[in-house]
A and B are shown apart, each in its own frame.
Chain A
Amino acid sequence: MKKLLNFRLLIFISILAISSALIFAACEKKPEPATGPEEATGPIKIGFAGPMSGDAAAYGEIIRNGIMMKIEEINEAGGINGRMLELVVGDELCDPKEAATIAQKFASDKEILAVIGHVCSSATLAALPYYKDAGLPAVSPTATNVDVCKKSEWMFRDVYRDDFQGEFIAKYAKEVLGLNTVAVFHENNDYAIGLMEAFKKGAEEVGLEVVGVESYVKDTVDFTPQLTKFKHLAPDGIFIAGYYQQGGLILNQAKKLGLTSQFMGADGLNNPELIEIAGKEASEGFIASSPFVYEAAGGEALKFKKDFEAKYDGMTPDWMAANGYDAVGIIAKAIEECGADRAKIRECLAGMNTEEKGYKGITGVTFFDENGDCLKPAYVSIIKAGEFVAAEKQMF
């Protein structure tokens, strides 16, 4: 027995040693900076980095579909200055370590001129040093953590920030839903912790009392101890900060334990998969903030929704698909105006700094401040009969 345990320890330590050596080796190898424009005839490559498998795979799939819609649209119209767009997909499972690997791959591939990604905030934070070193512009459609764009002048996003989002939900809970006490249930990661802090700040401002905070780690499948605590604290509302898979499990287990509080969440839970995992009954009446709601945007957005459903046999696009679609538009606009070169694309993106100079897409106008952040409104969705729909009362 002792021998066996020693052996397992040995295996564990050697795996650690090997992986750290690999990471070191990887960090040592600085990708060379991209040289000038290549012959202007071949396709223009754009990278997309996100979770195509694993816990958050539903995000990756739906965003990639949104991206492909725009790319095909541009290519059918003759491409950008006669050159076709081509997408290179990197699967990083929303995992910071994998994200760093994919980022290096993209940075050292000179043909890739811009990146759409990453999807999760912690993965984006892990990847951005590599883009910064290589001088590769990246536009994230979904990473909402406050620090993401501050850390690098090569990083942009067409989604709002968590400090805004967290405070927004707290205000909505108090002013529209009329709740007086809340508890917070968050995952231990960059995105959820930032969101939880913003929510607490917003709650303090509007006089919403936070009666309990619990957290969970990524691989958890059993949320009953924390939920049992919430059951006995009996808050009016429970705010979940995290991703859809755990969110779905939490809703499902809460129903089994007989919790009656109003559950709320943010953009990470605003994914149709949440309903699949939680079940129709357990998810009924769940409220989530969202960067974008199709019904509220009208015209162009509804056309996109219809085309998307036709193309991907009935899959309903969410806000992420729309942001991915617009991210391609933003990059295409930059290439068209400034040329097919990494540094020139970045200059052009940084130049989109007023509403007039911004990109008008289906999610509204995107323009960047000096960090690369954008100001966009937040909407609220509610689950009714197994579908996310716009809540009756919005707040602007």
Chain B
Amino acid sequence: MVFDQLIGNFKLGIDYAIEQLINGINIGGIYALIAVGYTMVYGIIELINFAHGEIYMLGAYMAFTFYVMLHLPFPIAVLLSIFTCMLLGILLEFVAYRPLRNAPRLAALITAIGASLFLQNLALIIWGGIPKSFPEQTLPDFFQSPIITIHGNANISLLQYNIFFITVFLMLGLHLLITRTKIGTAMRACAQDKTTASLMGINVNRVITFTFAVGSSLGAVAGILAGLYYNIIKHTIGYVAGVKAFAAAVLGGIGNVPGAMLGGFVLGIAETFGAGYISSPYRDGIAYAVMILVIVFRPSGILGRKQTVKV
């Protein structure tokens, strides 16, 4: 039955495969942007920031609020939204995680789950339960209809093209930031050993604040892109996307930034091909199955290194 379907879907040809690949790259890019935030924070303070998915959700809501409710021009609304989410990320770290910096890890984890629930319900109170969407005129029409031909019948829209482009651009920027700048070096130092880093004169608190700021900004960008392309802004979207992105971070090797990017794309493409070739209702299952298979053979993820246990 499933096998017949698989053969039938292969008969749809190469253009179909290309279009599904593009769908996968789109959703994968969004997962990758969120996953980077998870992985950076984990790398430095070994905390899985469960509230990160909510920052993604708030990014979409903020852009909607600035653009639709306050009638600001769209680019300004986007920048303001990213800025607001950056501040929120910093605030979250300051209020919820900093007081627990030296507490048992479980306490911080439970706080993170609590912060996630708090932000979700806050969004429900502020914007209500009825989903929002950006108006059709947000982007010009030529931006949203498939006009670029890649191969035969496979067409993509400028919006899809740009999602990919923006994602890759931000990833490269982040990579340069971490490898080439002073603050990036400080981040890597803190990830290796916080105590020694502070003995060397690095202001660890500032580095952690910076990490949260960068991760939250990228999360907000992901939220806005998803809001534009998938057309939905709802208080629960952060949960589903957050879980997927967390899986992507684990798949790539938690704590490893290029790994998180790779994990996001792998998960997105696996999910889309699972839906397009095997079975659409089981798409999430297929994505997680891919993740589990990788973890079985490489427990520390695709690019993760074996970690020595700290005593």
Contacts and interface: CB of A to CB of B under 8 A. Distances in A.
Given A255-B145, A280-B136, A4 B280 contact: no
Contact of A256 (B144, B236, B283): B144
At the interface, is chain A mostly helix, strand, loop or mixed? helix
A20 interface: no
Contacts of A228: 16, 19-20, 23, 276
Nearest to A223: B230
B172 to A, nearest CB: 25
A206 interface: no
Nearest to B153: A232
Residue of B9, B133, B232, B240 with most partner-chain A CB within 10 A: B232
A225 B109 contact: no
Contacts of A312: none
Interface residues of A, number: 42
Given A255-B145, A256-B144, A277 B230 contact: no
Give the bracket for the number of chain B residues in contact with chain A: 35 or more
Interface in B252-294: 254, 271-273, 275-276, 280-281, 283-284
Contacts of B275: 225-226
Contact of B129 (A54, A229, A231, A281): A54
A144 interface: no
A3 B105 CA distance: 10
Contacts of B250: 1
Nearest to B246: A8
Nearest to B240: A219
A215 interface: yes
Interface string B92-124: 000000000000011001000000000000001
Interface string B1-43: 0000000010011011001100100110000000000000000
Contact of B272 (A57, A58, A224, A255): A224
Residue of A225, A233, A249 with most partner-chain B CB within 10 A: A225
Given A57-B130, A256-B157, A276-B133, A229 B276 contact: yes
Contacts of A58: 130
Contacts of B27: 222, 224
Interface string B124-148: 1000011101011000010011100
Contacts of A276: 133
A3 B136 CA distance: 46
B280 A221 contact: no
B48 A4 contact: yes
Nearest to A217: B281
Given A226-B275, A228-B23, A277-B231, A256 B146 contact: yes
A368 to B, nearest CB: 34
Contacts of A57: 129-130
B213 interface: no
Nearest to A277: B133
A279 B136 contact: yes
B159 interface: yes
Contacts of A222: 23, 27, 230
A214 B133 CA distance: 25
Nearest to B19: A228
A188 B281 contact: yes
B155 interface: yes
A221 B237 contact: yes
B229 interface: yes
B146 to A, nearest CB: 4
B277 to A, nearest CB: 9
B135 A279 contact: yes
A75 interface: no
B106 A256 contact: no
Contacts of A232: 12-13, 15-16, 19, 153
Contact of B131 (A188, A258, A277): A277
Contacts of B16: 228-229, 232
Contact of A225 (B106, B141, B159, B276): B276
A216 interface: yes
B64 to A, nearest CB: 13
B106 A7 contact: yes
Given A219-B236, A273-B130, A253 B146 contact: no
Nearest to B295: A5
A1 B236 CA distance: 26
A181 interface: no
The 3 lowest CB-CB distance pairs between A and B, nearest first, are A225-B275, A279-B136, A53-B129
Given A219-B236, A232-B19, A273-B130, 4 more contacts: A7-B109, A232-B12, A232-B153, A233-B12
